[in-house]
Structure 1
Amino acid sequence: MNFRHGERDEPEINLIPFIDVLLVILIFLMLTTTFSQATALQVNLPQADAEPPPQVRREITVAVAADGRVAVQDVVLPERSVAALVAALRHAAEATPEPLLVIQADAAAAHQAVVDVLDAARQAGLVQITFATQRSGP
């Protein structure tokens, strides 16, 4: 006795639902992944190997010493307040619109002193700010 009727159907594997599930899992993993920064690293910021910018524009130089003293255009400010720094930056920026502010902070300078300079620059309306570094190496 032969119970087979006609040709036998081959099983078919449909890959489209499998690919859809993998894409949903990939999107889920991409959205839920968090990137953490290591905070226990020692960072030495004052050295860099970058070349100076090719175009030199009028710069306002602010130097921050290790003890927190601040000098604007080589003039040491008698006060360490943000208001005195804002006044000195506005006076230095009067001659040129949109000058470049160059912050030369000592490696041992307190973070608060540098943040005070950045805050004063924002209050004085200076938007182009860079940090000076020294070359690492001979």
Structure 2
Amino acid sequence: MNFRPRHRDEPEINLIPFIDVLLVVLIFLMLSTTYSKFTELQLTLPVANVEQQRNRPQEIIVSVAADGRYAINKTALSDTSVAALTQGLAGLAQSRPDSVLIISADATAPHQAVISVMEAARRTGLAQITFATQSSQAQRR
């Protein structure tokens, strides 16, 4: 019987295959990642003179009251029909073809009243429409 203690070799952990696998994964991730580059169009932006002022488009303001009455550029309309709105906007649209229609409606105005203004604008050819609002801080005061 041999009672001598056996000499055991300590196991070695070979890190080279582990590093190889990690490098392959890293290369795969680098190649498959898409970067957001907007190089499809090469643009040269125009230079503008700072002293020149912009020409602002003409504004047509249509006010809609809470009870559904209309006013075009602070001139009240007696009729609340779409035809009356179209007739009122038609003269202004012909004299100012590139004008912007601003709808300034009361917060409690009927939805149909605002839609009627939009329909009248469509009939007269006014394509640029925006809505006037106020900040929430001004409403709290």
Fold-level match, TM-score > 0.5?
yes
Does 1:73 find its partner at 2:60? no
Distance in 2 (CA, whole Å) between partners of 1:66 and 1:55 is: 33
> What pairs up with 1:33-72 in 2 under 5 angstroms?
56-72=56-72
**Which consecutive aligned stretches of 4+ in structure 1 deviate over 6 angstroms post-superposition?**
none
Q: CA deviation at 1:55?
A: 6.6
Shift of 1:115: 0.5
Equivalent residue of 1:93, what SS?
helix
Percent identity (aligned) = 51
Report the AA paired with residue 125 of structure 1: G
Higher fraction of helix: 2
User: 1:96 corresponds to which residue?
Assistant: 96
Using the TM superposition, give the Cα deviation of residue 135 of structure 1 relative to its aligned residue in structure 2, in angstroms. 1.4
Cα deviation 1:26-60 (Å, max 9, x = unaligned): xxxxxxxxxxxxxxxxxxxxxxxxxxxx8732100
Larger Rg: 2
AA matched with 1:83: A
Q: TM-score, normalised by structure 1?
A: 0.58
- 2:132 paired residue number: 132
Q: CA deviation at 1:93?
A: 1.6
Q: Unmatched 5+ residue regions in structure 1? A: 1-53
The alignment's TM-score, normalised by the length of structure 2, stands at 0.57
What stretches of structure 2 of length at least 5 have no aligned partner? 1-53
For residues 89-136 of structure 1, the C-alpha deviation after alignment (integer angstroms, 9 at most, x for no partner) is 011222222210000000000000000000110011110000000112
RMSD over aligned Cα atoms: 1.5
